[in-house]
Structure 1
Amino acid sequence: MALKLVRRSEWGARDYRLPSGATLYGNERRRGVKIHYLGTPYSDRTHDRCAAYVRQLQAQHMDGNGWSDIGYSFVVCTHGYVYEGRGLRRRNSANGNTTLNDQDYAVCGLVGSSGLTVPPPAQVNGLRDAVDYCRAQGPAGDWLGGHRDGFATSCPGDALYTWAHAGGPRSNTTPEEEDDMATPVELWSYKGKDEPQDAYAYLRGTSRKIDALATQVAALTATVRTLASQLGDDVDTATVVAAVERAIADAVVQVNVDVTGPTNS
């Protein structure tokens, strides 16, 4: 697929502030690419409004955070367009600290912590285009992960984090097929499974599995606490609860729904 790159001049970027806005990467080569999300509610919009949202992000980072520019190397909208942020040469400020910013490029998908949380097929492919561009045109290695790798954050959310650690697969689903996601289109294999699965359908199914598992664990924990409180005064309730909760956690690990897909090289 052809990269749909939107240059800074095309989306109406403000000039970055000197001198820090011109800081080049300190290392000759990036390890790879870190995927980000917005961390705030986000609602999808028509493509003619995406550039304005990227300008809003830049204003937030410059005027709100006091940064010299938008923090990301690139931003990818739900329509698959890749907006040039700091680009391939200037160091990003989104990965957490100077060392992490030097280590990897920062690519943000316009996906929220609520509202739109799972990237649609066009965005999945746009994110992959951005990763490939960083590897082909910038000195980026094969590593692909999320903001939370090496930094304490929930970014980029479970769906994008799963996608990144599955190797960043493409989806060949067309816009006409987006309304019926029950039928897999692009086939790709992921670790521990024999059957192929469509990338977008896999992300959606994974998100549901995580939510269901969290609900079950919460319900089991509440039940254990209620039962333990009825065991009598001669029983150390806290010890019983802790032991059973550890057993539940071990059971969850043993079940291992294996949402991570193949490991990155």
Structure 2
Amino acid sequence: MAFKLLLSILFVALASHIVESCPRIITRAEWGARPANTAALVTNPPTHVVIHHSATQGCTTQAACMNLVRSFQNFHMDTNGWADIGYNFLIGGDGQVYQGRGWGRTGAHAPSFNNRSMGICLIGTFTSGLPTAAAINAAHALINCGVSSNTIRADYRLMGHRQASATACPGNALFAAIQSWPRFTTNP
């Protein structure tokens, strides 16, 4: 009985540590997402993390970021004909993480990597400038959260969108920066 109690206490302590190390994620319901039906990842937990930029204006308030996330979902669904917003998560200049498709779902963000990757989009254009420190810190925290909760493989490979297809994404400045992030790979 004492052993079961000790195990229960340890589990609660471990679970609360994982929750504490994870950033708050603004849910689909909170940002006003449309209903969607997306498939589970083929490779779960995913082996790759793909970094994107939205190539749009940035945002620095939750209201502005939620408005942009809704506009991305509308564009992806109405214009591109996708089942949902393409990314698994988006991060605003406000340092908040916005749930796209979420953990364990196949994205529509990096051809040939969609069914084995987590797509994280930093909102804004990062060709010559970097995201805010809050946004970069949130990206690191989100990835670490995924690893600690086993929703991203511990030996994941980090890459930029341009490594999956012919695009300038995630912008020259952000692409140069992510090359110093943990687990960046030149050969995804």
**TM bucket normalised to smaller:** 0.7 to 0.9
Give, in whole Å, the separation in 2 of the partners of 1:43 and 1:158: 16
Task: Confirm or deny that 1:9 pairs with 2:21.
Answer: no
Displacement of 1:84 after TM fit?
0.7
Task: Confirm or deny that 1:90 pairs with 2:105.
Answer: yes
Q: How big is each residue's C-alpha offset from its partner over 1:70-128, in whole Å with a ceiling of 9 and x where there is no partner?
A: 000000001111111111121001112xx3101211000002156x8420111111111
Could you tell me which residue of structure 2 aligns to residue 199 of structure 1? none
Q: 2:142 aligns with which of 120, 124, 130?
A: 130
Give, in whole Å, the separation in 2 of the partners of 1:263 and 1:13: 31
- On the 8 A contact 1:32/1:135 being kept in 2, the answer is no
**Between 118-127 and 158-167, the greater mean CA deviation after superposition:** 158-167
1:1-265 matched pairs, under 5 angstroms: 3-16=23-36, 21-40=37-56, 42-96=57-111, 99-112=112-125, 117-137=129-149, 138-140=151-153, 141-167=155-181, 264=185
Displacement of 1:142 after TM fit?
3.0
Rate the CA distance shift 1:123–1:139 in 2: closer, same or farther, 3 A. closer
Rate the CA distance shift 1:53–1:28 in 2: closer, same or farther, 3 A. closer
Q: How big is each residue's C-alpha offset from its partner over 1:47-77, in whole Å with a ceiling of 9 and x where there is no partner?
A: 3221111111111111111111000000000
Give, in whole Å, the separation in 2 of the partners of 1:73 and 1:44: 18
- How many residue pairs end up in the alignment? 164
Q: TM-score, normalised by structure 1?
A: 0.57
Identity %: 30
Give, in whole Å, the separation in 2 of the partners of 1:167 and 1:155: 17
Question: Which sections of structure 2, spanning at least 5 residues, go unmatched?
Answer: 1-20
- On the 8 A contact 2:106/2:116 being kept in 1, the answer is no
Give, in whole Å, the separation in 2 of the partners of 1:6 and 1:153: 28
Rate the CA distance shift 1:108–1:135 in 2: closer, same or farther, 3 A. same
Q: How big is each residue's C-alpha offset from its partner over 1:228-254, in whole Å with a ceiling of 9 and x where there is no partner?
A: xxxxxxxxxxxxxxxxxxxxxxxxxxx
- On the 8 A contact 2:52/2:119 being kept in 1, the answer is yes
Q: Which has the higher contact order (CA 8 A, sep 6+)?
A: 2
Q: Write out the 4+ residue segments of structure 1 that deviate beyond 6 Å after TM superposition.
A: none
Give, in whole Å, the separation in 1 of the partners of 2:89 and 2:156: 17
- On the 8 A contact 1:105/1:134 being kept in 2, the answer is no
Displacement of 1:147 after TM fit?
0.5
| Rg comparison, structure with higher value | 1
SS at match of 1:148: helix
- On the 8 A contact 1:111/1:118 being kept in 2, the answer is no
